[in-house]
Structure 1
Amino acid sequence: MLWKTRTRSGFTLIELLVVIAIIAVLIGLLLPAVQKVREAAARLQCVNNNKQLGIALHAFHDAYSYFPPAGVDPAFGWPRRGIAPGVQHGMGVFLLPYIEQNALYTQYRWDVDWRAPENQTVVTARLKVYICPSVPNTERLVGPKTSGSFTWSEYAGDYAPQSGYRRALAVAGYTDFIAGDYAGNPNPPSDTIGEGGPYRGVFETCGALAGFVDNAYGIAQITDGLSNTCFLTEDAGRPLSYVTGGKPHPTNPTGGANGLDGAGWASRGMNYGIDGSGLDGLGSGPCFMNCNNRDEHFSFHTGGGVHLFGDGSVRFINQNLSTKVMAAQTTRIGGETLASE
């Protein structure tokens, strides 16, 4: 009698473990490459967003012969545009007709505050052009927030108009090469009184002070040159608070009861002047980029951030750039000579 030997098909346990190990190695090799491709795509989209905003800013300038201000303050309003005292508005709304959002623009009420109930439909709209796709959370409807008599919500934005550099940098000596700045002055002026000074940027607030009711500037008033003057920077992730390495703030990750100021694309407080922070993102210091997002240049891109310049060019600036050079690039009439830097 012949006996047939029955053979079993399939993997042994050792073979299965070998296959799993090979798959794990392949995933380990491919995952960083996939992440790099995704970040490259996100960075490209961030660049394109800034290009669109640059076109919008120049379209506004073509229409009015000046760029929109960073905002309108309630103290004096903006008479040139018929905006009375008592209400405030942000730069983002001025650009709506030039980023294909005319429907939102026509709904907006200029006779009431940007935080008023009448403007909630507009300021809570999610506009992709204001959002960097590299932020940890691109879906950021902020609020409800409360300040004074207002309770409102707003949709976040990651790009902020530059107002120059601030007193803290100058007093610490990080900008002492700039002619006419605080160097040697034992009693430097405050940031507010310094509106219009040589350390100021293109985008200031109209109506904050009696002498600065109409400080919206045109190309002719940017004497440093458009290609030398930074218009928009990333200050990404607001209202949440982040520090060096893109990590949440160790003690205040939410940024406070209302989150960090200026989080919304329509916010009156979206603009800022750089004042530096410590290298760990805490306290004051010379770091102007990627150390914290509390009114500083902050990006979730590796090694730097995306910046829009006045000539419409969009540049990725290394986070290790000299603070003096970046400060010079934020001013419009500083007359700086950068030399080898």
Structure 2
Amino acid sequence: LAFHNYHDVYNRFPSALSANAGDTVLDFGEGPGPRTDAAADANFHTWTERILPYLDQQNVYTGIDFNTCMGAGTAALTGPPVITAAGNNYVNSHASATLNAVIPAYICPSAPHSGSKTETYLDDWLSDGYGATIYYGGGVLDYTPLADWLSSDLNGGQGILDIEHDPGALGSDGVKIGAITDGTTNTFILGEHSAPGGKEYAMGKPIANLSDEQSGLMGPSWYDWQWSTGHFWRGLAPGACNSDYNSGPCGSAPYLGGRPGGPCLMNCNNKWNYNSFHTGGAQFLMADGSVQFFSQNMDKNTLISIHGCNDGAVTSQSF
């Protein structure tokens, strides 16, 4: 309902990620592009912020300064890091109450989160880029889009919140309902992707920290731009390895090459696939506003087809 209310106002769904003119996103799949002016401050914001007023979270939304980067600060999330190097200016004026807000609609009741339902993470991507320690944090997020699908033999088209586009392309500026040519009942927006405690889960058990295998992945906060856009996690076909690594089929300890995604599309490993704490599958939000339970045993090409909003691959199979 929040997505559709947003569409009623802006005549499009929110984009997965937006950046200011000084921080051009050349390829959303690769994150922020080169800073093009000395005052650029990596200012980008995501769909999780845009729909807050339609989730009865106007106070949280009002606390966001869209002129500065979303939700970064010190380890305690009490203030911004100070960066003074020329060309690396960083400004953040978000209140700690905003950074730590828990949004009930973003949380699945079945996920075993801590009592506070908040997390804090080191952002090694921006920390490396700015030469300072920068953190993200806030209420947890159990639902994300799918950035891309690796190890597949089917072009999944473009998702409604797909970030693998350049500015001006479908998805980068928000998708209109009329552009969902596969039909809103045949296209999903979000799926369950839960990581309680910032842990990597395999077959329902925590086995490591999310960041152990791949730098750059934090999560799972709604104020984490990488997690909320599905940026660093990529769906793997059953039994496949993460092709971002080149040190062997799946490498060896300590996780060189990454662990495989497991034998199923979801609930095998939340590092590389959708993950819920439901038996047999996960809940997905469809573009028509309905919620569908997808079986973890569904055909991978079916899931890819349902992700694409304009690929012409309308499925009639049971979810």
**TM-score > 0.5 by shorter chain:** yes
Structure 1 residue 161, shift from structure 2 partner: 2.4
Identity %: 29
1:69-108 mapped onto 2 (5 Å cutoff):
69-73=15-19, 75-76=23-24, 86-108=42-64
Counterpart of 1:278 (choices 223, 239, 260) is: 239
The answer to whether the 8 A contact 1:143-1:258 is kept is no
Cα distance in 2 for partners of 1:91, 1:295 equals: 21
Counterpart of 1:229 (choices 183, 187, 209) is: 187
Name the SS for the 2:220 alignment partner.
coil
Counterpart of 2:223 (choices 266, 272, 279) is: 266
Structure 1 residue 298, shift from structure 2 partner: 0.6
- What residue number does 2:265 align with? 288
Cα distance in 1 for partners of 2:316, 2:136 equals: 47
Determine whether 1:305 maps to 2:253: no
- What residue number does 1:126 align with? 102
Can you list the C-alpha shifts for 1:121-140, whole angstroms capped at 9, x where unaligned?
31311111111111122433
Name the SS for the 1:97 alignment partner.
helix
Cα distance in 2 for partners of 1:111, 1:296 equals: 33
Structure 1 residue 319, shift from structure 2 partner: 1.1
Give TM-score, length-normalised by structure 1.
Answer: 0.66
Structure 1 residue 308, shift from structure 2 partner: 0.7
Structure 1 residue 333, shift from structure 2 partner: 0.8
- Higher relative contact order by CA 8 Å / sep ≥ 6: 1 or 2? 1
Name the SS for the 2:48 alignment partner.
helix
Structure 1 runs (4+) deviating above 4 angstroms are 210-214, 257-260
Specify whether residues 69 and 130 from structure 1 end up closer, same or farther in structure 2 by C-alpha distance, changes over 3 A only: same
- What residue number does 1:166 align with? 149
Specify whether residues 154 and 274 from structure 1 end up closer, same or farther in structure 2 by C-alpha distance, changes over 3 A only: same
Q: Which segments of 5 or more consecutive residues in structure 1 lack a partner in the other structure? A: 1-54, 79-83, 176-180, 182-197
Higher helix share: 1
Structure 1 residue 77, shift from structure 2 partner: 6.3
- What residue number does 2:35 align with? none
Name the SS for the 2:43 alignment partner.
coil
Structure 1 residue 236, shift from structure 2 partner: 0.9
Can you list the C-alpha shifts for 1:82-101, whole angstroms capped at 9, x where unaligned?
xx883111211101100001
Paired positions, count: 252
The answer to whether the 8 A contact 1:278-1:287 is kept is yes
Specify whether residues 259 and 70 from structure 1 end up closer, same or farther in structure 2 by C-alpha distance, changes over 3 A only: same
1:54-69 mapped onto 2 (5 Å cutoff):
55-69=1-15
Deviates more, 1:132-141 or 1:328-337: 132-141
